[in-house]
Structure 1
């Protein structure tokens, strides 16, 4: 992954990783428009409106994604500047099959020693787009394959743990809790776990319609953190579509 992101890299990655969806959606929209031509009156306008609504929804989701991943300051990580990392020495980034942030973080925090982990397991995390992403951007040799319930690190090994736009791929709530318990175990006293996620909320529904079901609700995240005995030190929005949770040990 290039350190200097291209102007449309984020939205283009989304299209490449999810191209079967866009192909099928495009064919269905064209079929509906074609079928509408055989009708007149109310049925014609209903089918045409349905096709245009589907097309509009798809375009809105791409425009929003372009704003989030290409136009906002999300990947500048300026929102981390208020956190005191100067005394930290070790960091862990945990991803789910596709890592587009570690290299940027390494450049921003050159004094940190980074370890990289990938918990993607196709038997448990069944999102097809991840497999396509891995073919386009194969994991680096230094990325360690891990299991969510058994991280191969020592107790209190890391000062900072980054879990950015990846933990939502853990669909099973129990697995998600075990994962955060493991993160707590390998986090040093006074350390921070930084979680960044879309939420299953109104802004993401308006942006992605039924696609927002791929995310978890705010209540689900808070419950997960509580059951993992982690303290929510800070919560804020990085754009209206992205939530940031900063966690510490209780």
Structure 2
């Protein structure tokens, strides 16, 4: 698994997909810290320096955390899956929101399983330029199906495992998320599992990403969505302080 994903891929992707933000941020820092002091009273220079640090520090910290999360942690190694959970031939769904780094990894991790890849990216709703740059950098996995969040083209109770890795938070409507999880419930076998991996709207992610943590949802919000979709939250565990795995099952199942 490690040989498939190259070192620094995560940080490189973040810089590339969001390059206008980083260019303007670092340009602003340079202007404030080196050029602006020539045009103001030298006694104000220290304030310019402090302000430039105020701009730079959160950006640098977020990149360090992202390097830790996406390049150093077990996220893409899938070591957080128990051995008994990958030992048999199964049917698997990997569902994403237009940016797919994981299907080829899952194909390697589950070589004897049947993998369905689904993309619920909607260009009318997901208009961020970063997503479009990501889609250019990562061509669609062969056989990927374009789907909607309200109807997945699969039969009832036909899937053993469903993976939604850093994707479901892109469904911004709570009502739509509940409908989406209802669809996952519909296609999941009675003894199947759903693995949702997400950042949370919590203190560690606030410290790491500043106001960017508002793009995520709280644990309580996820728990409510799961419950409203008539699913059961079997287990919650951390990959890092910044990433949470929700292991979800059908109500009334045991494992």
- TM over 0.5: same fold? yes
1:97-176 map, 5 Å:
97-176=98-177
In the alignment, the residues of structure 1 paired with residue 160 and residue 141 of structure 2 have an alpha-carbon distance, to the nearest angstrom, of 23
Comparing 71-80 with 33-42, greater Cα deviation is found at: 33-42
Contact 1:36-1:48 within 8 A present in 2 as well: no
Cα distance per residue 1:74-122 (max 9 Å; x no partner)? 2111110255343452000001111111111111121211000000102
Structure 1 distance, partners of 2:154, 2:37, is: 59
Give me the whole-angstrom Cα distance separating, in 1, the residues matched to 2:110 and 2:23.
Answer: 40
Residue in structure 2 matched with residue 13 of structure 1 by the alignment: 13
> Number of residue pairs matched?
249
CA distance in 2, matches of 1:62, 1:6: 17
Look up the SS of the partner of 1:175 in the other structure. Answer: helix
User: Superposition RMSD on alpha carbons, in Å?
Assistant: 1.7
The secondary structure found in structure 2 opposite 1:162 is strand
- Deviant stretches of 4+, over 4 Å: none
Aligned ranges 1:1-250 → 2 under 5 Å: 4-33=4-33, 34-40=35-41, 43-87=44-88, 89-250=90-251
Report the Cα offset of residue 128 of structure 1: 2.3
How far does residue 127 in structure 1 lie from its aligned partner after superposition?
A: 2.9
- TM-score w.r.t. structure 2 length? 0.92
TM-score, structure 1 normalization: 0.94
Q: 1:83 to 1:196 in 2, by over 3 A?
A: farther
- Give 5+ residue unaligned stretches, structure 1: none
Question: Conserved in 2, the CA contact under 8 Å of 1:10 and 1:70?
Answer: yes
Unpaired runs of 5+ residues, structure 2, are none
Cα deviation code 1:216-246 (max 9, x no counterpart): 1111111111111110000000011100000
Residues 57, 172 of structure 1: CA spacing in aligned structure 2 closer, same or farther, 3 A cutoff?
same
